[in-house]
């Protein structure tokens, strides 16, 4: 999937004013109805974690090496044992067709074109087979993961897993931080309901099943708050050969538990600040998870990543790969598939440029030595 590095394009044409991900957020927000905008952009309760996911990156500073030949800089790496053009994938954001009618199909095509992976949400508005076909139609070796909750209906949960595996998905991302939903005030204030005509094929819900129901109603009707390590991980192993990743880990203890249970990877995540407010920003939780892993399990991270420099910082702190959710939604809302292309190109170009300006020719060159942290008394402290 890596292919040849894509040259940095000049900013001309209809996207000339979209210079960064925050520009994309602002432009997309103007196009979204208030209910959809708040559903996508808001977090739980006081939204402390939502905001700190992004602001926490600001305390880290880059330590560049100069007079390094970076003419051969190559940001490619691997994800799910397959080459990708750079270490970023699109997280399992649900209800993408609310941002643009093409929804996950557009996202899959854009990811395939850029040579990166995508995780399909259980709340996708298109089926796994449709999403896979859209990506594979652009690039034949595109990799997808399937996001899954623990469900009261074990037969349906198994059906989702087997369907995903049969369609060629490489991994299952088990969302582990959601025994119940976090309280999102804006959804309650707006009385948010799934728009008419949108289906959730993976869950076998069509618009008639969900019409008039809140997101909370739908979630609580199928989610199993009795989930646990001892029951669910061995069961997953018994029904699928896909890689098993735990999404929602924020502590060393749970990283060690994932290793003990034989999981393939951990996604350091706080659900984009949409679950328990007041937990650590993912970039602050990442170092203890990396230390606990000690190379025994793969560590990825999502949450609040808004630039190629943020990506670089996450890799310097030990993540192998990062995932973004809301930026893909903003791309869709701004200009459909072309908007997601723009989002991915922006991250790619910023990340590669950051690598070059810090003297890194490959992702393996990105280490703790590339970062410092701002001290209260002024001097930069090395990590």
Residues belonging to the binding site are 92-94, 121, 147, 149, 175, 184, 247, 269, 271, 274, 302-306, 325-326
User: Could you confirm whether 271 is annotated as catalytic?
Assistant: yes
Does residue 186 sit in helix, strand or coil?
helix
- Helix pair 252-260, 282-293: axis angle to 10 deg: 40
Which H helix or E strand runs over 379? none
* Residue 112, C-beta contacts closer than 8 angstroms, at least 6 positions apart: 134, 135, 136, 137, 138, 139, 142
| Backbone Cα Rg of the chain | 20
Binding-site members for FMN are 92-94, 121, 147, 175, 247, 269, 302-306, 325-326
Neighbours of 41 (CB within 10 A): 18
* Nearest alpha-carbon partner for 285 in 245, 319, 312: 319
Backbone angles phi, psi at 330, to 5 degrees: -65, -40
Beta strand 144-148 with 380-382 is unpaired
* Nearest alpha-carbon partner for 270 in 258, 257, 286: 286
Residue located via tokens 């007079």: 67
Catalytic residue chosen out of the listed positions 100, 215, 271, 300: 271
Neighbours of 191 (CB within 10 A): 8
Residue by residue, what is the 3-state secondary structure of 70-104? CCCCCCCEEECCEEECCCEEECCCCCHHHCCCCHH
Q: Hey, what are 204's tokens?
A: 């076998």
Residue located via tokens 């979209």: 18
* Residue 229, C-beta contacts closer than 8 angstroms, at least 6 positions apart: 257, 261
Binding-site members for glyoxylate are 149, 184, 271, 274
Catalogue the active-site residues: 271
């Amino acid at each position: 999937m890596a292919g040849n590095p894509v040259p940095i394009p000049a900013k001309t044409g209809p996207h000339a004013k979209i210079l960064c991900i925050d520009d994309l957020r602002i432009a997309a927000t103007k196009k979204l109805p208030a209910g959809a905008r708040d559903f996508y952009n808001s977090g739980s309760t006081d939204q402390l974690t939502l905001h700190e996911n992004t602001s926490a990156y600001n305390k880290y500073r880059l330590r560049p090496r100069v007079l390094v030949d970076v003419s051969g800089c190559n940001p490619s790496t691997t994800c799910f044992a397959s080459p990708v053009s750079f270490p970023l994938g699109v997280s399992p954001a649900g209800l993408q067709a609310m941002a643009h009618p093409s929804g996950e199909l557009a996202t899959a095509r854009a990811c395939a074109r850029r040579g990166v992976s995508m995780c399909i949400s259980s709340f996708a508005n298109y089926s796994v087979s449709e999403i896979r076909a859209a990506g594979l139609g652009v690039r034949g070796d595109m990799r997808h993961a399937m996001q899954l909750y623990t469900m009261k209906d074990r037969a349906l949960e198994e059906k989702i897993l087997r369907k995903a595996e049969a369609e060629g998905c490489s991994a299952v991302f088990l969302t582990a931080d959601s025994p119940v939903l976090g309280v999102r005030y804006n959804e309650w204030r707006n009385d948010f309901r799934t728009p008419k005509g949108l289906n959730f094929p993976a869950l076998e819900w069509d618009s008639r099943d969900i019409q008039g129901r809140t997101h909370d109603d739908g979630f609580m009707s199928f989610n199993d708050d009795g989930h646990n390590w001892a029951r669910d991980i061995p069961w997953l192993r018994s029904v699928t050969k896909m890689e098993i990743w735990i999404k929602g880990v924020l502590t060393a203890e749970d990283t060690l538990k994932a290793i003990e249970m034989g999981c393939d990877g951990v996604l350091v995540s706080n659900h984009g600040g949409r679950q328990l407010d007041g937990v650590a920003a993912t970039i602050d939780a990442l170092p203890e998870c990396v230390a606990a892993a000690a190379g025994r399990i793969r560590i990825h991270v999502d949450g609040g990543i808004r630039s190629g420099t943020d990506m670089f910082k996450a890799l310097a702190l030990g993540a192998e790969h990062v995932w973004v959710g809301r930026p893909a939604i903003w791309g869709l809302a701004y200009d459909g598939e072309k908007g997601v292309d723009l989002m991915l190109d922006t991250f790619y170009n910023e990340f590669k440029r950051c690598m070059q300006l810090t003297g890194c020719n490959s992702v393996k060159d990105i280490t703790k030595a590339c970062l410092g942290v701002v001290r209260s008394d002024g001097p930069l402290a090395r990590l």
